[in-house]
Amino acid sequence: MIDIEAFEEIDYLPSEKKVEILYEDEYLLIVNKPKKIIIFPENKNETGTMANVIAGMYQLKGESHAIRHTHRLDRDTSGCLVYAKDVITHAIMSSMFENNEIKKNTKEIETQGNLSELLKNIVKLYRIVPEGPVFCRFPGKKR
């Protein structure tokens, strides 16, 4: 087993700005992105973006995740913005958005069925192979 958390660190400058959390679990963070803010800066040393806000949230919680948005929203668009907390969840969610398995609009994430159950099942499916777990997050582990 490989502990992928060992390779994680916050990779943007943290901001103290607050944002509304719509959903969060050990794999995903979904927030309500306000208008007039971009997703990430051109340079990781810049501030004033959603990446900085999310970095600040992780820092306050004592969590160490790279900032991984799974789709984009324009600067002047508000709405649901999905972040993955690890590289595997990011790959899965990015692929789902790209293949229109999950659709976004300015107000909500559209899926068939319960979003949280869908996401949990998808993550479980892609993390388990016949030989057993390939990656392990070790829930509850604090740095």
Q: Which residues are catalytic?
A: 74
Cβ contact 108:117 at 8 Å: no
| Residue 92 backbone dihedrals phi, psi, to 5 degrees | -65, -50
Cβ contact 40:50 at 8 Å: yes
Residue in this structure with the two tokens 């999950």, named with its chain if needed: 102
